[in-house]
Structure 1
């Protein structure tokens, strides 16, 4: 892997570990993350520190991949997908002081190999999207998705169970 550091009007890449043939389009903000071989990252995506994206993935435009998210190989992330990493988000502490990194705990999220996440889905923290699973567009995933399952809705419910492909 090579480390990318590029600051330009069209994108900001800081300490990004990138594999071979990684394609990162304009207006991407990525820092302290890793992106595997042959992965494509669309425009207007943010990938935060500690996030890991596997090989042969497609991350569509306007998506947000926060700290604590691990995306395995061959995953499709549709347009405007949002991941969450804090179970109890707050702007300030009880004393009124602004929260910093020491005031909360990252709750990790895992997207297993070959899963697909439809456009505008929201994936809450602490869940696993199983191998080969499909999350319908606009869904809100609040609990684990079994391997090969198709889920949709708010909250996302299982519509179909099958084997991972």
Structure 2
């Protein structure tokens, strides 16, 4: 029998086939469904469900009580806070099957989703964006944006290191790591 290079707690289920990367840990009462891809060094907390065909990048942290539904793609270094919620159908009804209507939601590299946030399907969360706790995302979120509220709105911008950026003359600067950014359309881009 081939030795697995990842950890699965004995109370969790992993349906086959699926791919799970080296160093990933899957904790208590979680269910990994078939045909999903989970990268290396991920940490999947207690009571997490990952539905079929979900793609999870490397070094993704999924906290307790999160359901990651079909249609969700998490790129590398994403953080999903406790009890955050994803949807995959715009107009669900229990008596109408709408699997052919699943919409894709992409959480781009380095983004963080706060506890108890709701991400309505069909939108992208930009690179290193930060979704505040309890926010309800109903449209695309630009790179590095800090969004809060219901519906979520841009409150400011955050650095790759996670700290809020300060507005300077012609851009933004991190007061912690001194990295600077400039605005390009709705997104921020790091200055070289």
Same-fold call, TM cutoff 0.5: yes
For 2:83 and 2:134, the matched residues in 1 are separated by 9
- Deviation (angstroms), 1:106: 0.6
Greater relative contact order (CA < 8 Å, ≥ 6 in sequence): 1
What is the aligned partner in structure 2 of residue 27 from structure 1?
A: 29
- Deviation (angstroms), 1:164: 5.1
Q: Deviations over 1:8-28 (max 9, x none)?
A: 6x1111023101101000100
What is the aligned partner in structure 2 of residue 18 from structure 1?
A: 20
SS in 2 for 1:151: strand
Q: Which runs of 5+ in 2 are unaligned?
A: 162-192
Asked if the contact 1:147/1:164 (under 8 Å) is kept, the reply is no
- Deviation (angstroms), 1:75: 0.5
The answer as to 2:42 corresponding to 1:39 is: yes
What is the aligned partner in structure 1 of residue 87 from structure 2?
A: 84
Larger radius of gyration: 2
Runs of 4+ in 1 over 2 A off after TM superposition: 99-102, 161-165
TM-score, normalising length from structure 2? 0.75
For 1:101 and 1:128, the matched residues in 2 are separated by 21
How many residues are paired up?
155
TM-score, normalising length from structure 1? 0.87
Q: Which runs of 5+ in 1 are unaligned?
A: 93-98
For 1:19 and 1:80, the matched residues in 2 are separated by 24
| Superposition CA RMSD, Å | 2.1
